[in-house]
Structure 1
């Protein structure tokens, strides 16, 4: 190791790298300062010190707080993510026998997904490894992707995959069938035959991603194709809120059948004379992430159950 590299390894402050990570993730100095609960000048100073220490220009400053990350900055960001992952994996070290299958696993899932089978498989994994805990976070499909790209999540489950992000390996799972539902106040409630005119003039409520450019565009196109709904009046980020909107109002909403059975005690599935819409479901894994032994074990378990597969780094493809 050269004298310069040795000095860098000894003297570089990890907090500078962490601050740089947050700057890139938040895409602004202001956002990074808010997230880190420090002042904007402190964040700017940390970025400047990191550039001086590395002797690299990491970002090109624009007007105000705007900036563009340089190629060197992108490389440093990737390395910082790996370092961060290594620090987090220190939680998996047991004093008695070194690396053990214990620790917390973060999993991100789309809030509109029905995940009963996935949760059952995770529960089975935890029964085999009692020292394991899970943090399951329900977010939008876009946030599932970002959580994986930022090394926050071990695995993600969503209904849309961005083919341009090659490092995220997607595995298609069993698609989910959705149905049209209404509450007691809707004129189609308990009706065995759906009046096309009532379907066409009904208001619609749905998930935030139920739009033509959203992750649930399948539902939007289905309604347009079959003349269901006059206007979209309310959006919900989670299943409980959407069920409340349908049950307490006079609008129609589309839910996965599993969710409707579990949460919609007063819901009525409107009989349609066309096949129901089907939404694709995927598991996502970052192929460039250096997995901890705990994460490897989880993915092996999920692969056995047909829910995910171990990623292959590009060098292995």
Structure 2
């Protein structure tokens, strides 16, 4: 280590890095002050001192403008990596190394419903009861950013585009069907094809496009010329389902996820009844990152469980005699 770098390490106030991390996460100096119970001048002074140490601008800001610079983005990612290391120190100090403790942050898309994953989590908790978990639910894009920024050890979401710095493992496959609500003109009607659907209003996800994560659904719409007015687009499954139930239009939903709504008479499935479009949901991790013992143990166990379970057993709805439950 050079003399300059050695002096930097010993002179830097590590609290400045923590404060900077909170500023970025909160999106403003005022919000960061509220989070840390510090005044805005104190937060501003901490940011100024850190920028002096780094000899570069980290955040471009004014009274109505706030933007992280490229240097600030790089520093933020490194700060998150350092925080992950600090968070793992207690478990490294434990006397009983046979009992792993620690915490695992996860980032999920809004409609992750996977019996295989639920069973795995139950078994893992029995084996490692001292490991705790937390989950944030957001769009697939936001979940990917959380993994990239080391805010989450793993993500489970649809892959609209695969990034080279993330690793993708197919966790499960789900089939989408089209559904309508009780006030819709097609409710409780078993129509034979798509003719009656072509001009009807439509509700869907923002990724329901040929270049998006729901490309198979978009391709089916294009193939069958379903060109009704789009009256709502969301990133959250619950909001899509809410408007479909309210009669705004028909739209795509994972068949196995909404099976209880269909059984309760709140949703009705319309074509296609056979060969519904399928979408893959991935376990996503960062390729190069330092993990805590708890994170490594969890990911190793989940990867092993995926490898040991055929994709057919991780496909929903479960096949019945070679067909999905939507086809029988």
Report the TM-score, using the length of structure 1 for normalisation.
0.80
Q: Post-superposition shift, 1:109? A: 1.4
**CA spacing shift, 1:32–1:226, aligned 2, 3 Å:** farther
Q: Post-superposition shift, 1:26? A: 6.0
Matches within 5 A, 1:216-295: 216-228=214-226, 230-249=228-247, 251-264=249-262, 265-266=264-265, 267-272=267-272, 275-295=275-295
Deviations 1:66-108 (A, max 9, x none): 556355x555434322211112223535654258422321111
Q: Which residue of 1 aligns with 2:114?
A: 115
Please, which moves more after superposition, 110-119 or 276-285? 110-119
In the alignment, structure 1 residue 198 sits paired with structure 2 residue 196: yes
Aligned length, in residue pairs: 305
Q: Which residue of 2 aligns with 1:103?
A: 102
Q: Secondary structure of the residue that 1:126 maps to in structure 2?
A: helix
Q: Which residue of 1 aligns with 2:316?
A: none
Distance 2:90 2:261 in 1: 36
CA contact (8 A) 1:107 1:135 kept: yes
CA contact (8 A) 1:157 1:281 kept: yes
Q: Which residue of 1 aligns with 2:298?
A: 298
Distance 2:30 2:216 in 1: 37
CA contact (8 A) 2:194 2:224 kept: no
CA contact (8 A) 2:99 2:128 kept: no
Distance 2:211 2:22 in 1: 28
Q: Which residue of 2 aligns with 1:18?
A: 18
Distance 1:305 1:83 in 2: 29
Q: Which residue of 2 aligns with 1:80?
A: 79
Q: Secondary structure of the residue that 2:183 maps to in structure 1?
A: coil
Q: Post-superposition shift, 1:126? A: 0.9
Q: Post-superposition shift, 1:307? A: 6.7
Distance 2:226 2:34 in 1: 44
Q: Secondary structure of the residue that 2:19 maps to in structure 1?
A: helix
CA contact (8 A) 2:194 2:271 kept: no
Q: Post-superposition shift, 1:185? A: 2.3
Q: Which residue of 2 aligns with 1:314?
A: none
Deviations 1:21-48 (A, max 9, x none): 3445566656655765655543332121
CA contact (8 A) 1:114 1:256 kept: no
Please, which moves more after superposition, 212-221 or 135-144? 212-221
Q: Secondary structure of the residue that 2:178 maps to in structure 1?
A: strand
Distance 1:99 1:86 in 2: 20
Report the TM-score, using the length of structure 2 for normalisation.
0.78
Q: Which residue of 2 aligns with 1:59?
A: 58
Distance 2:121 2:111 in 1: 19
Please, which moves more after superposition, 200-209 or 81-90? 200-209
CA contact (8 A) 2:160 2:212 kept: no
Distance 2:23 2:189 in 1: 55
Q: Post-superposition shift, 1:7? A: 5.4
Q: Which residue of 2 aligns with 1:140?
A: 139
RMSD of aligned residue pairs (Cα, Å)? 3.3
Q: Secondary structure of the residue that 1:234 maps to in structure 2?
A: strand
Distance 1:281 1:240 in 2: 18
